[in-house]
Amino acid sequence: MNTAVATYEVEADGQIDAPEARPMPKRTVVGYGFWLFLLSDCVMFSAFFASYAVLVHATAGGPTGAQLFNQTTVAIETTCLLISSYTCGLMSLAISARRRSATYFFAAVTFVLGAAFLSLEIREFVNMIAHGATPQRSAFLSAFFTVVGCHGAHITAGLIWLIVMMTQVAFKGFVANVQRRLLCFALFWHALDIIWVALFTVVYLMGVSQ
């Protein structure tokens, strides 16, 4: 479907000409579509948060969040992700200035911090499962693994996306299509950062008071 806007011309006698269809810039269309995707992601996570809030006390005699969560590890995870969001912003500035070496550098730092966050999260899951705190143990753990695991899956997708984009920069340079995709990646990464702040507050900080 061709997205278009209508332009009108007023003739000398005050009559308005029939509108002419003019295609919207691709940057606008892509940006609008990607914002819709991010909105749908926020709706999905909102549903997960609501489910977790309802099931947080349904431990079925199993371990609670206060017994499972390591606040030191979670604080390190949060720090890694927050800093990675900052370096992602610096990467966006380097892209706007068409500075390839700076783009690679900040992309590499963003990737390392994101990978560190993901490895800590996976280690947390492995330790919990090793102690019998599996998703099927209770409704609380099912909700926990769903919301935290879904965020981790998004981080994994973001890291793969970043590798693909740096490959495109290497082969294509800062052409318009690559810049649009990099902008979408930056929006995606910052959105994950915001979701993690909410997740950190609702799941981990409130979890220790169970």
| Torsion of Cα atoms, 48 then 49 then 53 then 57, to 10° | 60
Mean pLDDT value across residues 196-207:
88
What's the pTM value of the predicted model, to 2 decimals? 0.84
Is the pLDDT at 149 greater than 90, yes or no?
Answer: yes
Domains of the chain: 25-209 (1.20.120.80)
User: Residue 13 phi/psi, 5° resolution?
Assistant: -85, 5
Distance CA 96, CA 76 (A): 31
User: For the chain, what percentages of helix, strand and coil (3-state, to nearest 5) are there?
Assistant: 75, 5, 20
pLDDT mean across residues, the chain: 87
Quickly count: other Cβ atoms within 10 Å of residue 163's Cβ.
12
Q: What distance lies between CA 3 and its chain's CA centroid?
A: 27
In this predicted structure, the answer to whether residue 117 has a pLDDT above a threshold of 70 is: yes
Judged by average pLDDT, the poorest of 7-11, 36-40, 69-73, 178-182 is 7-11
Task: For helices 100-130 and 139-172, give the axis angle rounded to 10 degrees.
Answer: 160
Please say if the pLDDT value at position 26 is more than 90: no
In the predicted structure, residue 5 carries a pLDDT above the cut 60: no
Which of 17-21, 26-30, 131-135 is predicted with the least confidence, judged by mean pLDDT?
A: 17-21
Nearest CA-CA partner of 74 in 141, 11, 125: 125
- pLDDT tens digits along 46-83: 999 999 999 998 988 888 888 888 889 999 999 999 99
Contact, 99 vs 81, CB < 8 A?
no
Contact 52, 147 (CB under 8 A): yes
